[in-house]
Amino acid sequence: MGERTQYAPGTFCWTDLATTDQDGAKAFYGSLFGWEAEDLPVGDGATYAMQRVDGKDVCAIAPQPPQQREAGVPPLWNSYVSVESADASADRATGLGATVHAAAFDVMEAGRMAVIQDPQGAYFMVWQPNQHFGAQLVNAPGALVWNELATPDLDASAKFYGELFGWTTSAFEGSDQPYRMIQNQGAVNGGMRPPNPQEPPNWLVYFGSDDLDASLAKIDELGGRKLAGPIDIGVGRIGIAQDPQGAVFALWHGRLED
């Protein structure tokens, strides 16, 4: 079980769900993972629903921004990377060929962030911490355990993120398809793979499960949908699912790092 009080720059530090039905999503994930929710007001009657395991922040569930809904963007889980400066990271990403969809802005006293689309099309956020540094618990059942990029060009993505965050990548041996492990400052920090048929470029978030088969069965019972799995990948077992509102996420059962 990995408790955290800070994240090194370049490390995935947080995830939140942008959904069309905040209450429905809270009920679904609360039943699936046992998350405890606290609704934090963020103005105009909206709330940012912090999700906790054993009293520790693991992620959040938020209403989908109107501009995403109007554009027909489905509900999705967002991946955040900790940085020293959101402004500098956004500027550097632009210079590397990315598109900044939301320039750096303050999130009240929590921190400062920017929304970026990489040159291959996947969205991610950079997070400059202030009062909120990210997840207090990772690598545990019900908590974030992995971030995985589906990209049509592994070499180009490795180069982009390497130049942006200083990441290095190496081939994962034994995989049926090309797969690259990401390292940040010597620590494992996710993976990269080619997309599945009809899958757009995206960052997929994985949550820990202490019983993958039971979790996948419960997803169906709760109105979600199993998309793949259980799949044995040697070092563990995974499953991919979709919540009732349409957001895709993944599950991991296996050894968890501290």
Q: For 235, which DSSP code?
A: S
CATH number at residue 245: 3.10.180.10
pLDDT band at 229 (very low <50, low <70, confident <90, very high): confident
pLDDT band at 1 (very low <50, low <70, confident <90, very high): low
Q: How many CB atoms lie within 10 A of CB 199?
A: 12
71 in the same domain as 144: no
Domain boundary among 129, 160, 176: 129
203 in the same domain as 115: no
Q: Can you give the pLDDT at residue 235?
A: 84
Average pLDDT over residues 151-163: 98
248 in the same domain as 154: yes
Closest CA to 147 of 129, 173, 165: 165
Domain interval for residue 198: 138-254
- Report helix, strand or coil for 138: strand
Average pLDDT over residues 195-209: 95
pLDDT at 176 over 80: no
142 in the same domain as 118: no
Cα distance between residue 79 and residue 125, in whole Å: 6
121 in the same domain as 149: no
* Contact present, 153 and 120 (Cβ < 8 Å): yes
pLDDT band at 118 (very low <50, low <70, confident <90, very high): very high
Compute the mean pLDDT over every residue in the chain, rounded to the nearest whole number. Answer: 95
97 in the same domain as 62: yes
Q: For 199, which DSSP code?
A: P
107 in the same domain as 144: no
The region that residue 88 occupies, defined by phi over 0 for left and psi between -120 and 50 for alpha, beta otherwise, is alpha
Q: Helix %, strand %, coil % for the chain, to 5? A: 20, 45, 35
Number of domains in the chain: 2
